[in-house]
């Protein structure tokens, strides 16, 4: 009997060891697969020279960075600013939220579908990215390092590190390194230049091309995406025509559902005709139509489109440039809902006192 019991114990021990070993290898294989996927993603980031910034690791002691808390709709969060900037930072210093109505409308879109993430190309100080990161994931791309320092500090102060990925690059049509001119009175106006011979900015201010930035493609952001649906906001001072090309952005639009692209059009429409046609064909061939921010379909020539526009997916057969061909389609509103007109947002805090001079709202920054 003792021998039988010993054999049974031995058999039970062998079975237990076998189960434990199998469970270990299953666990190890799953972890290995997960690590392999993450390694592949980070290899892609490295090969494509994507500079992902970790907010908590930044050292901003090289210059003093000022921050304040500001309220937008039902959210209160920190935002960091410049002291000499006459545009976005000036608005914040006077208790006003720059492009507050546009930001609020975009936030409403993101809240309609929580699977939607935000890709903010030309994030600046984060007036779009910071409130969006409080309830969804954001990829914020900003080429100006001084702006990135302030955005990173605000992300850290606001405790939204896990919801936002900061990328210190410029999105362009090729991967290269370009000089960058930053307007001293409008830090958000960072212009890519292919030569160091730049004397004046578009506002006729002296420009400094001693700065450089590594450019990447929109396709290169795919390893950072954690959702297959996203809104895109892009403000890159006229370089929008270099962001959206079939070769450099087509894969992103093939793999990610992008119902709306909000875009500054003011400078974009001044680019050469063939570049504008290429941009419009990129969207028209993917069943997008151009709309104003008040949700009115833009039927006129692109040179008469407003300061800011959006491209929205519509249910119609593919169209191409010129706009006259697109006009054949019925002007039905697309299925993706857009607040129209803008829903008013709550007052910012605190409002400027009458004795404080506020920057004029009638002349929007370039």
Query: For 324-363, what is each residue's pLDDT tens digit?
Result: 433 333 333 334 444 333 333 333 333 333 333 333 333 4
- DSSP class of residue 269 equals G
pLDDT of residue 123: 94
Question: According to the model, what pLDDT value does residue 279 have?
Answer: 96
Residue 171: helix, strand or coil by DSSP?
strand
Q: What's the pLDDT at 195? A: 59
Do 136 and 110 form a contact (C-beta atoms < 8 A)? Answer: yes
Query: How do beta strands 75-81 and 66-72 pair?
Result: antiparallel
What pLDDT, on the 0 to 100 scale, is given for residue 192? Answer: 74
pLDDT value of position 361: 38
Asked, as a colleague might, if the bond just before 317 is cis with ω within 30 of 0, I would say: no
Task: Name residues of the chain where pLDDT drops below 50.
Answer: 21, 23-44, 316-366
d(CA 277, CA 62): 44
Here the tokens at position 215 are: 């450019």
Q: For residue 354, what pLDDT is reported? A: 33
User: Measured between alpha carbons, how far is 166 from 265 in angstroms, rounded to an integer?
Assistant: 24
Task: Identify the pLDDT of residue 12.
Answer: 62
Q: What share of the chain is helix, strand, coil (3-state, %, to 5)?
A: 35, 20, 45
Residue 182 has a pLDDT of 76
49, HSE (Cβ side, Cα atoms, 13 Å): 13
CA 177/CA 194 separation, integer angstroms: 9
Mean pLDDT for the chain?
Answer: 76
123 contacts: CB under 8 Å, gap ≥ 6: 129, 140, 141, 142, 147, 151, 166
């Amino acid at each position: 009997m003792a021998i039988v019991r010993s054999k049974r114990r031995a058999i039970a021990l062998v079975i237990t060891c076998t189960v434990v070993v199998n469970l270990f290898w299953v666990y190890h294989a799953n972890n290995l697969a997960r690590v392999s996927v993450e390694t592949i993603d980070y290899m892609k980031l490295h090969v494509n020279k994507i500079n992902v910034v970790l907010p908590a690791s930044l050292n901003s002691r090289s210059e003093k960075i000022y921050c304040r808390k500001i309220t937008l709709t039902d959210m209160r969060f920190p935002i960091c600013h410049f002291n000499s900037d006459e545009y976005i930072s000036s608005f914040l210093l006077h208790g006003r939220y720059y492009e507050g109505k546009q930001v609020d409308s975009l936030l409403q879109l993101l809240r309609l579908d929580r699977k939607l993430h935000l890709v903010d190309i030309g994030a600046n100080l984060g007036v779009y990215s910071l409130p969006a990161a409080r309830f969804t994931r954001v990829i914020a791309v900003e080429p100006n390092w001084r702006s990135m320092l302030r955005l990173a500090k605000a992300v850290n102060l606001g405790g939204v590190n896990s919801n936002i990925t900061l990328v210190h690059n410029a999105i362009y049509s090729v991967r290269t390194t370009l000089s960058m001119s930053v307007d001293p009175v409008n830090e958000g106006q960072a212009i890519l230049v292919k030569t160091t011979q730049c004397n004046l900015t578009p506002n006729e201010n002296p420009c400094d091309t001693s700065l450089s930035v590594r450019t990447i493609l929109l396709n290169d952001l795919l390893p950072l995406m954690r959702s297959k649906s996203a809104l895109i906001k892009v403000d890159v001072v006229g370089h929008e025509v270099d962001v959206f090309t079939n070769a450099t952005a087509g894969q992103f639009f093939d793999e990610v559902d992008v119902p709306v692209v909000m875009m500054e059009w003011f400078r974009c429409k001044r680019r050469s005709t063939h570049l504008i046609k290429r941009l419009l064909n990129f969207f028209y061939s993917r069943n997008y139509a151009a709309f104003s921010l008040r949700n009115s379909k833009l039927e006129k020539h692109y040179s008469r489109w407003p300061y800011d526009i959006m491209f929205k997916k519509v249910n119609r057969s593919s169209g191409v440039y010129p706009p006259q061909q697109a006009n054949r389609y019925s002007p039905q509103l697309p299925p993706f809902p857009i607040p129209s007109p803008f829903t008013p947002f709550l007052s910012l805090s605190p409002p400027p006192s009458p004795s404080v001079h506020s920057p004029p709202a009638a002349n929007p920054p370039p």
